[in-house]
Chain A
Amino acid sequence: MSACVWGGMDIQFFIELFFGGLTRGSIYALIALGYTLVYGIIGLINFAHGEVYMLGAFTALLVAGVLGVYGFPAGGILVVAALAAVVWCAAYGYTLEKVAYKPLRGAPRLSPLISAIGMSIFLQNYVLLAQTSDFVPFPNLLPPMDFLEYIDYVMGPSDFLILLVSTIAMVSLSLFIRFTRMGKAMRATAQNRKMALLLGINADRIISLTFIIGSALAALGGVLIASHMGQVNFGIGFLAGLKAFTAAVLGGIGSIPGAMVGGLVLGLAESFTTGYFSGNYEDMLAFGILILILVFRPDGILGKATVEKV
Protein backbone atom coordinates (compact mmCIF):
# COMPACT_ATOMS: atom_id res chain seq x y z
CA MET A 1 0.00 0.00 0.00
CA SER A 2 1.52 3.29 -1.06
CA ALA A 3 1.86 6.32 1.15
CA CYS A 4 -0.27 8.31 -1.30
CA VAL A 5 -3.31 6.08 -0.84
CA TRP A 6 -2.82 6.22 2.90
CA GLY A 7 -2.78 9.96 2.69
CA GLY A 8 -5.96 9.96 0.62
CA MET A 9 -7.67 7.57 3.00
CA ASP A 10 -6.68 9.71 5.90
CA ILE A 11 -8.16 12.91 4.49
CA GLN A 12 -11.36 11.14 3.56
CA PHE A 13 -11.63 9.67 7.04
CA PHE A 14 -10.94 13.05 8.56
CA ILE A 15 -13.68 14.71 6.50
CA GLU A 16 -16.08 11.96 7.43
CA LEU A 17 -15.35 12.49 11.11
CA PHE A 18 -15.57 16.22 10.69
CA PHE A 19 -19.05 16.14 9.20
CA GLY A 20 -20.13 13.46 11.64
CA GLY A 21 -19.01 15.83 14.39
CA LEU A 22 -20.87 18.75 12.88
CA THR A 23 -24.06 16.71 12.62
CA ARG A 24 -23.93 15.58 16.21
CA GLY A 25 -22.74 18.99 17.35
CA SER A 26 -25.73 20.67 15.69
CA ILE A 27 -28.08 18.54 17.73
CA TYR A 28 -26.19 19.37 20.93
CA ALA A 29 -26.33 23.03 19.96
CA LEU A 30 -30.10 22.94 19.39
CA ILE A 31 -30.64 21.52 22.86
CA ALA A 32 -27.94 23.64 24.49
CA LEU A 33 -29.73 26.79 23.34
CA GLY A 34 -32.66 25.91 25.58
CA TYR A 35 -30.41 25.61 28.64
CA THR A 36 -28.61 28.81 27.89
CA LEU A 37 -31.73 30.88 27.11
CA VAL A 38 -33.47 29.86 30.31
CA TYR A 39 -30.34 30.33 32.36
CA GLY A 40 -29.79 33.75 30.84
CA ILE A 41 -33.26 34.92 31.83
CA ILE A 42 -33.94 33.31 35.21
CA GLY A 43 -30.59 31.83 36.25
CA LEU A 44 -32.00 28.31 36.44
CA ILE A 45 -30.59 25.10 34.99
CA ASN A 46 -33.71 23.47 33.58
CA PHE A 47 -32.81 19.84 34.15
CA ALA A 48 -36.08 18.68 32.59
CA HIS A 49 -34.93 20.10 29.27
CA GLY A 50 -33.39 16.87 27.94
CA GLU A 51 -36.76 15.18 28.33
CA VAL A 52 -38.35 17.74 26.02
CA TYR A 53 -36.00 16.53 23.31
CA MET A 54 -37.09 12.94 23.97
CA LEU A 55 -40.73 14.03 24.00
CA GLY A 56 -40.22 15.72 20.63
CA ALA A 57 -38.97 12.47 19.12
CA PHE A 58 -41.93 10.50 20.52
CA THR A 59 -44.49 13.08 19.45
CA ALA A 60 -43.15 12.96 15.92
CA LEU A 61 -43.21 9.16 16.02
CA LEU A 62 -46.86 9.06 17.10
CA VAL A 63 -47.99 11.66 14.60
CA ALA A 64 -46.03 9.98 11.81
CA GLY A 65 -47.66 6.67 12.74
CA VAL A 66 -51.16 8.13 12.53
CA LEU A 67 -50.49 9.94 9.26
CA GLY A 68 -48.87 6.78 7.86
CA VAL A 69 -52.07 4.87 8.46
CA TYR A 70 -53.89 7.38 6.30
CA GLY A 71 -51.34 7.00 3.54
CA PHE A 72 -49.74 10.44 3.40
CA PRO A 73 -46.52 10.80 1.36
CA ALA A 74 -43.38 10.21 3.42
CA GLY A 75 -41.81 13.67 3.05
CA GLY A 76 -45.09 15.35 3.99
CA ILE A 77 -45.43 13.12 7.03
CA LEU A 78 -42.01 14.13 8.27
CA VAL A 79 -42.77 17.83 7.94
CA VAL A 80 -46.15 17.57 9.67
CA ALA A 81 -44.76 15.29 12.39
CA ALA A 82 -41.90 17.70 13.02
CA LEU A 83 -44.26 20.67 13.23
CA ALA A 84 -46.55 18.79 15.58
CA ALA A 85 -43.58 17.90 17.80
CA VAL A 86 -42.39 21.48 17.87
CA VAL A 87 -45.82 22.86 18.75
CA TRP A 88 -46.55 20.19 21.35
CA CYS A 89 -43.19 20.59 23.05
CA ALA A 90 -43.45 24.38 23.00
CA ALA A 91 -46.77 24.03 24.82
CA TYR A 92 -45.16 21.54 27.14
CA GLY A 93 -42.25 23.88 27.91
CA TYR A 94 -44.67 26.71 28.61
CA THR A 95 -46.66 24.51 31.00
CA LEU A 96 -43.53 23.15 32.66
CA GLU A 97 -42.48 26.66 33.61
CA LYS A 98 -45.91 27.58 34.94
CA VAL A 99 -46.30 24.38 36.95
CA ALA A 100 -42.82 23.57 38.16
CA TYR A 101 -40.86 26.83 38.27
CA LYS A 102 -43.09 29.87 38.51
CA PRO A 103 -44.55 28.94 41.92
CA LEU A 104 -40.97 28.67 43.20
CA ARG A 105 -39.77 32.07 42.05
CA GLY A 106 -38.16 33.81 44.96
CA ALA A 107 -37.63 30.49 46.76
CA PRO A 108 -34.06 29.37 47.59
CA ARG A 109 -32.12 28.43 44.46
CA LEU A 110 -32.10 24.75 45.28
CA SER A 111 -35.91 24.45 45.19
CA PRO A 112 -36.47 25.00 41.46
CA LEU A 113 -33.48 22.75 40.76
CA ILE A 114 -35.09 19.93 42.70
CA SER A 115 -38.37 20.67 40.96
CA ALA A 116 -36.55 20.42 37.61
CA ILE A 117 -35.08 17.03 38.45
CA GLY A 118 -38.50 15.90 39.65
CA MET A 119 -40.11 16.94 36.37
CA SER A 120 -37.39 15.12 34.47
CA ILE A 121 -37.96 11.87 36.36
CA PHE A 122 -41.72 12.24 36.03
CA LEU A 123 -41.52 12.69 32.28
CA GLN A 124 -39.18 9.79 31.66
CA ASN A 125 -41.42 7.50 33.62
CA TYR A 126 -44.54 8.87 32.03
CA VAL A 127 -43.22 8.07 28.57
CA LEU A 128 -41.87 4.75 29.82
CA LEU A 129 -45.33 3.73 31.05
CA ALA A 130 -47.25 5.20 28.15
CA GLN A 131 -44.88 3.69 25.59
CA THR A 132 -42.30 1.04 26.33
CA SER A 133 -38.79 0.61 27.67
CA ASP A 134 -37.62 -0.85 24.34
CA PHE A 135 -36.18 1.10 21.49
CA VAL A 136 -39.02 1.87 19.12
CA PRO A 137 -38.25 2.03 15.40
CA PHE A 138 -38.71 5.42 13.79
CA PRO A 139 -39.78 5.15 10.12
CA ASN A 140 -37.49 6.37 7.39
CA LEU A 141 -39.41 9.27 5.94
CA LEU A 142 -36.63 11.04 4.09
CA PRO A 143 -36.94 11.42 0.35
CA PRO A 144 -33.92 10.26 -1.67
CA MET A 145 -31.42 13.04 -2.18
CA ASP A 146 -29.59 12.38 -5.43
CA PHE A 147 -27.38 15.43 -5.13
CA LEU A 148 -25.64 13.75 -2.19
CA GLU A 149 -24.46 10.89 -4.45
CA TYR A 150 -20.88 12.15 -4.75
CA ILE A 151 -20.37 12.83 -1.09
CA ASP A 152 -22.41 9.99 0.35
CA TYR A 153 -19.38 8.73 2.30
CA VAL A 154 -19.50 12.05 4.19
CA MET A 155 -23.16 12.62 4.63
CA GLY A 156 -26.41 10.81 4.06
CA PRO A 157 -29.84 12.39 3.69
CA SER A 158 -30.45 12.51 7.44
CA ASP A 159 -27.10 14.19 8.13
CA PHE A 160 -27.85 16.70 5.43
CA LEU A 161 -31.27 17.37 6.92
CA ILE A 162 -29.79 17.87 10.40
CA LEU A 163 -27.22 20.38 9.16
CA LEU A 164 -29.73 22.23 7.00
CA VAL A 165 -32.56 22.46 9.54
CA SER A 166 -30.37 23.28 12.53
CA THR A 167 -28.55 25.97 10.56
CA ILE A 168 -31.85 27.54 9.56
CA ALA A 169 -33.14 27.31 13.15
CA MET A 170 -30.02 28.87 14.64
CA VAL A 171 -29.81 31.67 12.08
CA SER A 172 -33.50 32.47 12.61
CA LEU A 173 -33.05 32.52 16.38
CA SER A 174 -30.06 34.84 16.09
CA LEU A 175 -31.98 37.24 13.85
CA PHE A 176 -34.98 37.12 16.18
CA ILE A 177 -32.89 37.90 19.26
CA ARG A 178 -30.94 40.61 17.49
CA PHE A 179 -33.58 42.53 15.61
CA THR A 180 -37.10 42.01 16.88
CA ARG A 181 -38.86 43.89 19.63
CA MET A 182 -39.30 40.75 21.72
CA GLY A 183 -35.72 39.70 21.03
CA LYS A 184 -34.45 42.97 22.42
CA ALA A 185 -36.78 42.61 25.39
CA MET A 186 -35.32 39.15 26.05
CA ARG A 187 -31.79 40.51 26.04
CA ALA A 188 -32.82 43.40 28.27
CA THR A 189 -34.51 41.05 30.74
CA ALA A 190 -31.40 38.86 30.83
CA GLN A 191 -29.17 41.86 31.53
CA ASN A 192 -31.32 43.57 34.15
CA ARG A 193 -34.73 42.25 35.08
CA LYS A 194 -35.68 45.19 37.29
CA MET A 195 -34.89 47.75 34.59
CA ALA A 196 -36.79 45.69 32.02
CA LEU A 197 -39.82 45.83 34.32
CA LEU A 198 -39.44 49.59 34.67
CA LEU A 199 -39.65 49.92 30.89
CA GLY A 200 -42.94 48.05 30.77
CA ILE A 201 -41.57 44.67 29.72
CA ASN A 202 -43.73 41.91 31.15
CA ALA A 203 -41.11 39.58 32.60
CA ASP A 204 -43.56 36.68 32.94
CA ARG A 205 -44.17 36.77 29.22
CA ILE A 206 -40.49 36.90 28.43
CA ILE A 207 -39.88 33.90 30.66
CA SER A 208 -42.69 31.97 28.95
CA LEU A 209 -41.34 32.91 25.54
CA THR A 210 -37.92 31.66 26.57
CA PHE A 211 -39.28 28.27 27.57
CA ILE A 212 -41.34 28.07 24.38
CA ILE A 213 -38.38 28.81 22.11
CA GLY A 214 -35.99 26.53 23.99
CA SER A 215 -38.47 23.64 23.96
CA ALA A 216 -39.29 24.10 20.28
CA LEU A 217 -35.59 23.89 19.40
CA ALA A 218 -35.09 20.80 21.55
CA ALA A 219 -38.11 19.15 19.92
CA LEU A 220 -36.64 19.86 16.52
CA GLY A 221 -33.43 18.21 17.68
CA GLY A 222 -35.40 15.20 18.89
CA VAL A 223 -37.19 14.71 15.57
CA LEU A 224 -33.96 15.10 13.62
CA ILE A 225 -32.10 12.59 15.75
CA ALA A 226 -34.96 10.09 15.63
CA SER A 227 -35.03 10.20 11.86
CA HIS A 228 -31.24 9.91 11.83
CA MET A 229 -30.97 6.96 14.22
CA GLY A 230 -34.15 5.28 13.05
CA GLN A 231 -35.21 4.57 16.63
CA VAL A 232 -36.28 6.28 19.83
CA ASN A 233 -36.35 5.37 23.49
CA PHE A 234 -37.67 7.01 26.67
CA GLY A 235 -34.13 7.36 28.03
CA ILE A 236 -32.50 9.28 25.17
CA GLY A 237 -33.14 12.65 26.78
CA PHE A 238 -30.92 11.99 29.76
CA LEU A 239 -27.57 11.60 28.04
CA ALA A 240 -28.35 14.08 25.27
CA GLY A 241 -29.50 16.58 27.89
CA LEU A 242 -26.35 16.19 29.94
CA LYS A 243 -24.16 16.54 26.89
CA ALA A 244 -26.03 19.59 25.64
CA PHE A 245 -25.70 21.06 29.12
CA THR A 246 -21.96 20.40 28.85
CA ALA A 247 -21.98 22.17 25.49
CA ALA A 248 -23.81 25.15 26.99
CA VAL A 249 -21.31 25.39 29.84
CA LEU A 250 -18.43 24.91 27.42
CA GLY A 251 -19.62 27.83 25.30
CA GLY A 252 -20.47 29.95 28.32
CA ILE A 253 -23.85 29.40 29.93
CA GLY A 254 -26.15 32.31 29.18
CA SER A 255 -24.46 33.05 25.85
CA ILE A 256 -26.41 32.20 22.70
CA PRO A 257 -23.47 32.05 20.28
CA GLY A 258 -21.70 30.19 23.08
CA ALA A 259 -24.29 27.40 23.04
CA MET A 260 -23.89 27.05 19.28
CA VAL A 261 -20.10 27.01 19.39
CA GLY A 262 -20.07 24.75 22.47
CA GLY A 263 -22.36 22.26 20.76
CA LEU A 264 -20.26 22.10 17.63
CA VAL A 265 -16.97 21.87 19.54
CA LEU A 266 -18.29 19.04 21.70
CA GLY A 267 -19.70 17.21 18.67
CA LEU A 268 -16.40 17.48 16.81
CA ALA A 269 -14.38 16.44 19.85
CA GLU A 270 -16.53 13.35 20.32
CA SER A 271 -16.41 12.44 16.68
CA PHE A 272 -12.64 12.67 16.45
CA THR A 273 -12.12 10.81 19.71
CA THR A 274 -14.36 8.01 18.53
CA GLY A 275 -12.69 7.92 15.11
CA TYR A 276 -9.05 8.08 16.14
CA PHE A 277 -9.16 6.41 19.52
CA SER A 278 -12.20 4.51 20.58
CA GLY A 279 -15.91 4.95 21.00
CA ASN A 280 -15.52 3.84 24.60
CA TYR A 281 -14.25 7.26 25.57
CA GLU A 282 -17.05 9.21 23.97
CA ASP A 283 -19.17 9.87 27.05
CA MET A 284 -16.18 10.10 29.34
CA LEU A 285 -14.85 12.85 27.10
CA ALA A 286 -17.96 14.99 27.44
CA PHE A 287 -18.02 14.80 31.20
CA GLY A 288 -14.26 15.20 31.44
CA ILE A 289 -14.69 18.43 29.51
CA LEU A 290 -17.54 19.50 31.77
CA ILE A 291 -15.49 19.00 34.91
CA LEU A 292 -12.42 20.72 33.48
CA ILE A 293 -14.45 23.71 32.34
CA LEU A 294 -16.22 24.05 35.68
CA VAL A 295 -12.91 23.91 37.50
CA PHE A 296 -10.72 26.06 35.24
CA ARG A 297 -12.95 28.30 33.20
CA PRO A 298 -16.52 28.32 34.57
CA ASP A 299 -17.49 31.14 32.20
CA GLY A 300 -16.82 28.98 29.17
CA ILE A 301 -15.44 29.95 25.79
CA LEU A 302 -17.69 32.93 25.03
CA GLY A 303 -19.09 33.63 28.49
CA LYS A 304 -18.20 36.82 30.24
CA ALA A 305 -16.09 36.93 33.34
CA THR A 306 -18.90 38.49 35.33
CA VAL A 307 -22.43 37.30 34.85
CA GLU A 308 -24.63 39.49 36.95
CA LYS A 309 -27.82 37.92 38.21
CA VAL A 310 -30.34 40.03 40.04
Chain B
Amino acid sequence: MLDQRNDDSMGNGSSTTRKTYAMLELCHVDTYYGNIQALRDISLSIEEGEIVTLIGANGAGKSTTLMTICGINRPRRGEILWYGKPIHHLPPHEVVSLGISQVPEGRLIFPDLSVSENLDLGAFLRHDPTGVRNDLDYVFSLFPILAERRRQAGGTLSGGEQQMLAISRALMARPKLLLLDEPSLGLAPIIIQQIFAIIEKVNADGTTVFLVEQNANQALRIAAHGYVMENGRIVMRDTAERLLQSEEVRTAYLGM
Protein backbone atom coordinates (compact mmCIF):
# COMPACT_ATOMS: atom_id res chain seq x y z
CA MET B 1 0.00 0.00 0.00
CA LEU B 2 1.17 3.45 -0.89
CA ASP B 3 -0.66 4.96 2.02
CA GLN B 4 1.30 4.89 5.19
CA ARG B 5 -0.33 7.57 7.24
CA ASN B 6 -2.38 6.96 10.29
CA ASP B 7 -5.92 7.97 9.62
CA ASP B 8 -6.38 10.64 12.26
CA SER B 9 -3.79 12.83 10.50
CA MET B 10 -6.02 13.12 7.43
CA GLY B 11 -6.94 16.61 6.51
CA ASN B 12 -6.50 18.09 9.92
CA GLY B 13 -5.35 21.27 8.22
CA SER B 14 -2.19 21.69 10.26
CA SER B 15 0.44 21.57 7.57
CA THR B 16 3.03 23.19 9.77
CA THR B 17 3.29 20.40 12.29
CA ARG B 18 4.05 17.72 9.71
CA LYS B 19 7.48 17.11 8.29
CA THR B 20 6.45 15.66 4.94
CA TYR B 21 3.77 17.43 2.99
CA ALA B 22 0.79 15.85 1.34
CA MET B 23 0.57 16.23 -2.43
CA LEU B 24 -2.50 18.41 -2.13
CA GLU B 25 -4.04 19.81 0.97
CA LEU B 26 -7.05 22.04 1.52
CA CYS B 27 -7.03 23.86 4.86
CA HIS B 28 -10.21 25.47 6.14
CA VAL B 29 -11.35 26.57 2.69
CA ASP B 30 -14.46 28.74 2.31
CA THR B 31 -15.72 29.49 -1.19
CA TYR B 32 -18.60 31.78 -2.09
CA TYR B 33 -20.72 32.50 -5.13
CA GLY B 34 -21.50 36.14 -4.51
CA ASN B 35 -23.03 36.09 -1.06
CA ILE B 36 -23.87 32.40 -1.10
CA GLN B 37 -21.38 30.25 0.72
CA ALA B 38 -20.82 26.98 -1.14
CA LEU B 39 -17.84 25.59 0.81
CA ARG B 40 -17.63 25.77 4.58
CA ASP B 41 -14.33 25.10 6.27
CA ILE B 42 -13.22 22.36 3.90
CA SER B 43 -10.07 20.55 4.94
CA LEU B 44 -8.82 17.50 3.12
CA SER B 45 -5.61 16.00 1.92
CA ILE B 46 -4.47 13.76 -0.90
CA GLU B 47 -1.28 11.73 -0.76
CA GLU B 48 0.76 10.93 -3.82
CA GLY B 49 -0.24 7.67 -5.45
CA GLU B 50 -3.69 7.39 -3.87
CA ILE B 51 -7.19 7.31 -5.19
CA VAL B 52 -9.19 9.57 -2.89
CA THR B 53 -12.90 10.01 -3.33
CA LEU B 54 -15.33 12.74 -2.38
CA ILE B 55 -18.97 11.71 -2.22
CA GLY B 56 -22.08 13.71 -1.50
CA ALA B 57 -25.57 14.52 -2.72
CA ASN B 58 -26.54 17.08 -5.37
CA GLY B 59 -25.51 20.58 -4.41
CA ALA B 60 -23.20 19.44 -1.61
CA GLY B 61 -20.31 21.44 -3.07
CA LYS B 62 -18.24 18.71 -4.75
CA SER B 63 -17.77 20.50 -8.07
CA THR B 64 -17.09 23.75 -6.28
CA THR B 65 -14.31 22.00 -4.38
CA LEU B 66 -12.67 20.91 -7.64
CA MET B 67 -13.10 24.32 -9.27
CA THR B 68 -11.58 25.96 -6.21
CA ILE B 69 -8.56 23.66 -6.42
CA CYS B 70 -8.14 24.57 -10.10
CA GLY B 71 -8.29 28.32 -9.52
CA ILE B 72 -11.59 28.86 -11.31
CA ASN B 73 -13.25 29.82 -8.04
CA ARG B 74 -11.21 31.64 -5.42
CA PRO B 75 -11.50 30.68 -1.77
CA ARG B 76 -12.43 33.61 0.44
CA ARG B 77 -10.70 32.02 3.42
CA GLY B 78 -8.30 29.15 3.89
CA GLU B 79 -5.37 27.74 1.98
CA ILE B 80 -4.71 25.22 -0.74
CA LEU B 81 -1.25 23.69 -0.55
CA TRP B 82 0.59 21.74 -3.26
CA TYR B 83 3.42 19.86 -1.58
CA GLY B 84 3.18 22.47 1.15
CA LYS B 85 3.24 25.49 -1.19
CA PRO B 86 0.19 27.77 -1.29
CA ILE B 87 -1.48 27.74 -4.71
CA HIS B 88 -4.90 29.26 -4.04
CA HIS B 89 -3.87 32.63 -5.47
CA LEU B 90 -2.61 31.16 -8.76
CA PRO B 91 -4.50 31.64 -12.04
CA PRO B 92 -5.89 28.41 -13.54
CA HIS B 93 -3.18 28.00 -16.17
CA GLU B 94 -0.49 28.02 -13.51
CA VAL B 95 -2.37 25.43 -11.49
CA VAL B 96 -2.49 23.22 -14.58
CA SER B 97 1.22 23.68 -15.14
CA LEU B 98 1.88 22.28 -11.65
CA GLY B 99 0.41 19.00 -12.83
CA ILE B 100 -3.24 19.25 -11.80
CA SER B 101 -5.79 18.38 -14.49
CA GLN B 102 -9.53 18.21 -14.18
CA VAL B 103 -12.16 16.23 -16.04
CA PRO B 104 -15.09 18.49 -15.25
CA GLU B 105 -18.69 17.58 -14.67
CA GLY B 106 -20.50 17.30 -18.00
CA ARG B 107 -17.20 16.61 -19.80
CA LEU B 108 -17.07 19.96 -21.57
CA ILE B 109 -15.79 18.53 -24.83
CA PHE B 110 -15.18 21.21 -27.47
CA PRO B 111 -18.01 20.19 -29.77
CA ASP B 112 -16.72 21.76 -33.00
CA LEU B 113 -13.16 20.54 -32.56
CA SER B 114 -12.15 17.11 -33.75
CA VAL B 115 -11.22 14.36 -31.31
CA SER B 116 -7.56 14.91 -32.26
CA GLU B 117 -7.80 18.64 -31.66
CA ASN B 118 -9.45 18.10 -28.29
CA LEU B 119 -6.54 15.84 -27.36
CA ASP B 120 -3.97 18.32 -28.72
CA LEU B 121 -5.42 20.97 -26.43
CA GLY B 122 -4.99 18.65 -23.47
CA ALA B 123 -1.26 18.91 -24.13
CA PHE B 124 -1.46 22.70 -24.62
CA LEU B 125 1.20 23.53 -22.03
CA ARG B 126 3.64 20.82 -23.06
CA HIS B 127 6.70 21.31 -25.23
CA ASP B 128 7.97 17.73 -25.52
CA PRO B 129 6.58 16.44 -28.83
CA THR B 130 7.93 12.94 -28.31
CA GLY B 131 6.37 12.64 -24.88
CA VAL B 132 3.09 13.98 -26.24
CA ARG B 133 3.13 11.40 -29.04
CA ASN B 134 3.76 8.62 -26.53
CA ASP B 135 0.90 9.82 -24.35
CA LEU B 136 -1.35 9.92 -27.39
CA ASP B 137 -0.53 6.27 -27.99
CA TYR B 138 -1.18 5.64 -24.32
CA VAL B 139 -4.69 7.13 -24.32
CA PHE B 140 -5.50 5.39 -27.60
CA SER B 141 -4.45 2.13 -25.94
CA LEU B 142 -6.80 2.90 -23.04
CA PHE B 143 -9.67 3.87 -25.37
CA PRO B 144 -9.13 2.37 -28.85
CA ILE B 145 -12.47 3.80 -30.01
CA LEU B 146 -10.99 7.30 -29.83
CA ALA B 147 -8.31 6.38 -32.35
CA GLU B 148 -11.05 5.33 -34.76
CA ARG B 149 -12.92 8.59 -34.20
CA ARG B 150 -9.97 10.96 -34.22
CA ARG B 151 -11.20 13.01 -37.18
CA GLN B 152 -14.77 13.22 -35.98
CA ALA B 153 -16.10 16.37 -34.28
CA GLY B 154 -16.16 16.01 -30.49
CA GLY B 155 -19.83 16.98 -30.37
CA THR B 156 -20.82 13.96 -32.47
CA LEU B 157 -19.49 11.39 -29.99
CA SER B 158 -21.79 9.41 -27.71
CA GLY B 159 -21.92 10.27 -24.01
CA GLY B 160 -19.61 7.42 -23.08
CA GLU B 161 -17.14 8.31 -25.83
CA GLN B 162 -17.19 11.94 -24.71
CA GLN B 163 -16.32 10.85 -21.17
CA MET B 164 -13.45 8.78 -22.55
CA LEU B 165 -12.29 11.76 -24.58
CA ALA B 166 -12.53 14.05 -21.55
CA ILE B 167 -10.40 11.69 -19.47
CA SER B 168 -7.91 11.26 -22.31
CA ARG B 169 -7.71 15.01 -22.86
CA ALA B 170 -6.85 15.51 -19.20
CA LEU B 171 -4.25 12.73 -19.35
CA MET B 172 -2.59 14.40 -22.34
CA ALA B 173 -1.32 17.02 -19.90
CA ARG B 174 0.47 14.15 -18.12
CA PRO B 175 -0.91 15.31 -14.77
CA LYS B 176 0.47 14.27 -11.40
CA LEU B 177 -3.01 14.67 -9.96
CA LEU B 178 -6.15 13.88 -11.94
CA LEU B 179 -9.42 15.38 -10.69
CA LEU B 180 -12.52 13.59 -11.93
CA ASP B 181 -15.99 15.08 -11.46
CA GLU B 182 -18.72 12.44 -11.65
CA PRO B 183 -17.27 10.46 -14.55
CA SER B 184 -20.06 7.89 -14.31
CA LEU B 185 -22.86 10.43 -14.67
CA GLY B 186 -25.44 9.40 -17.25
CA LEU B 187 -23.57 6.36 -18.53
CA ALA B 188 -24.72 2.77 -18.98
CA PRO B 189 -23.52 0.31 -16.29
CA ILE B 190 -21.18 -1.48 -18.67
CA ILE B 191 -19.48 1.78 -19.67
CA ILE B 192 -19.23 2.78 -16.00
CA GLN B 193 -17.40 -0.49 -15.30
CA GLN B 194 -15.01 0.28 -18.13
CA ILE B 195 -14.39 3.85 -16.94
CA PHE B 196 -13.71 2.73 -13.37
CA ALA B 197 -11.33 0.03 -14.57
CA ILE B 198 -9.45 2.68 -16.56
CA ILE B 199 -9.30 4.99 -13.53
CA GLU B 200 -7.69 2.17 -11.55
CA LYS B 201 -5.25 1.50 -14.37
CA VAL B 202 -4.31 5.16 -14.72
CA ASN B 203 -3.70 5.24 -10.97
CA ALA B 204 -1.63 2.06 -11.11
CA ASP B 205 0.42 3.68 -13.89
CA GLY B 206 1.39 6.44 -11.47
CA THR B 207 -1.26 9.17 -11.52
CA THR B 208 -2.84 10.25 -8.25
CA VAL B 209 -6.64 10.47 -8.53
CA PHE B 210 -9.20 12.61 -6.73
CA LEU B 211 -12.58 11.21 -7.66
CA VAL B 212 -15.83 13.06 -7.07
CA GLU B 213 -18.83 10.73 -7.31
CA GLN B 214 -22.46 10.25 -6.47
CA ASN B 215 -21.97 6.61 -7.35
CA ALA B 216 -20.57 6.08 -3.84
CA ASN B 217 -20.44 2.33 -3.99
CA GLN B 218 -18.22 2.16 -7.07
CA ALA B 219 -16.05 5.04 -5.94
CA LEU B 220 -15.40 3.67 -2.47
CA ARG B 221 -14.51 0.28 -3.93
CA ILE B 222 -11.54 1.65 -5.85
CA ALA B 223 -10.48 4.43 -3.44
CA ALA B 224 -8.12 4.27 -0.49
CA HIS B 225 -9.76 7.10 1.39
CA GLY B 226 -13.02 8.92 1.17
CA TYR B 227 -14.66 12.12 2.30
CA VAL B 228 -18.37 12.67 2.62
CA MET B 229 -19.74 16.11 1.96
CA GLU B 230 -23.07 17.65 2.96
CA ASN B 231 -24.19 21.25 2.50
CA GLY B 232 -20.71 22.53 1.83
CA ARG B 233 -19.10 20.74 4.77
CA ILE B 234 -17.01 17.60 5.13
CA VAL B 235 -19.07 15.47 7.50
CA MET B 236 -17.08 12.23 7.41
CA ARG B 237 -13.55 11.20 6.56
CA ASP B 238 -12.17 7.70 6.75
CA THR B 239 -10.67 4.83 4.80
CA ALA B 240 -12.85 3.79 1.92
CA GLU B 241 -13.27 0.38 3.46
CA ARG B 242 -14.69 1.74 6.70
CA LEU B 243 -16.91 4.22 4.90
CA LEU B 244 -18.37 1.37 2.85
CA GLN B 245 -19.30 -0.39 6.05
CA SER B 246 -20.50 2.65 7.92
CA GLU B 247 -24.19 2.65 8.71
CA GLU B 248 -24.68 6.32 7.84
CA VAL B 249 -22.99 6.03 4.46
CA ARG B 250 -24.88 2.86 3.64
CA THR B 251 -28.27 4.42 4.31
CA ALA B 252 -27.57 7.86 2.88
CA TYR B 253 -25.46 7.07 -0.17
CA LEU B 254 -25.64 3.40 -0.95
CA GLY B 255 -29.39 3.03 -0.60
CA MET B 256 -29.09 0.05 1.73
Contact = CB atoms under 8 A, between A and B. Distances in A.
A145 interface: no
A198 B124 contact: no
Interface string B107-128: 0101111000100111011000
Given A200-B97, A201-B93, A202-B93, A195 B125 contact: no
B111 A200 contact: no
Identify whether the interface residues of A are mostly helix, strand, loop, or mixed: helix
Interface string A188-215: 1001101111111110000000000000
A184 interface: yes
Nearest to A202: B93
A98 interface: no
Contacts of B92: 197-198, 200
Interface residues of A, number: 16
B131 interface: no
A198 B111 contact: no
A198 B120 CA distance: 14
B121 A191 contact: no
Contact of A191 (B70, B101, B111, B169): B111
A187 interface: yes
Interface centre among B70, B104, B124 (most CB of A within 10 A): B124
A195 B96 CA distance: 12
Contacts of A202: 91, 93
B102 interface: yes
A224 interface: no
Given A184-B121, A199-B121, A194 B108 contact: yes
A194 B72 contact: yes
B104 A199 contact: no
B120 to A, nearest CB: 6
B173 interface: yes
A185 interface: yes
Nearest to A304: B112
Interface string A162-197: 000000000000000000010011011001101111
A202 B121 CA distance: 12
Contacts of B112: 187, 191
Nearest to A185: B124
B72 A197 contact: yes
A192 B108 contact: yes
Nearest to A200: B96
A201 B124 contact: yes
Identify whether the interface residues of B are mostly helix, strand, loop, or mixed: loop
A185 B110 CA distance: 11
Interface string B58-97: 0000000000001110000000000000000001110011
B104 A195 contact: yes
B110 A192 contact: yes
A275 B112 CA distance: 40
A188 B234 CA distance: 34
A129 B216 CA distance: 69
Contacts of A184: 113, 117, 120-121
Contacts of B108: 192, 194-195, 198
B94 to A, nearest CB: 8
A200 B72 contact: no
A191 B114 CA distance: 13
Nearest to B118: A188
A198 B104 CA distance: 9
B117 A197 contact: no
Contacts of A200: 92-93, 96-97, 124-125, 173
Contacts of B104: 194-195, 198
B113 A198 contact: no
Nearest to B92: A197
A181 B70 CA distance: 22
A44 B69 CA distance: 29
A198 B68 CA distance: 11
Contacts of A199: 96, 101, 121-122, 124-125, 169, 173
29 contacts: A181-B120, A184-B117, A184-B120, A184-B121, A185-B121, A185-B124, A187-B112, A188-B113, A188-B121, A191-B111, A191-B112, A191-B113, A194-B104, A194-B108, A195-B104, A197-B93, A198-B96, A198-B101, A198-B102, A198-B104, A199-B96, A199-B121, A199-B122, A199-B124, A199-B125, A200-B125, A201-B124, A202-B91, A202-B93
Interface of A: 181, 184-185, 187-188, 191-192, 194-202
Closest 9 CB pairs of A and B: A200-B96, A195-B108, A197-B92, A200-B125, A200-B93, A202-B93, A191-B110, A198-B102, A199-B124
Given A187-B112, A192-B108, A197-B71, 15 more contacts: A184-B120, A187-B117, A188-B113, A191-B110, A191-B112, A195-B108, A197-B92, A198-B72, A198-B101, A198-B108, A199-B96, A199-B124, A199-B125, A200-B93, A201-B124
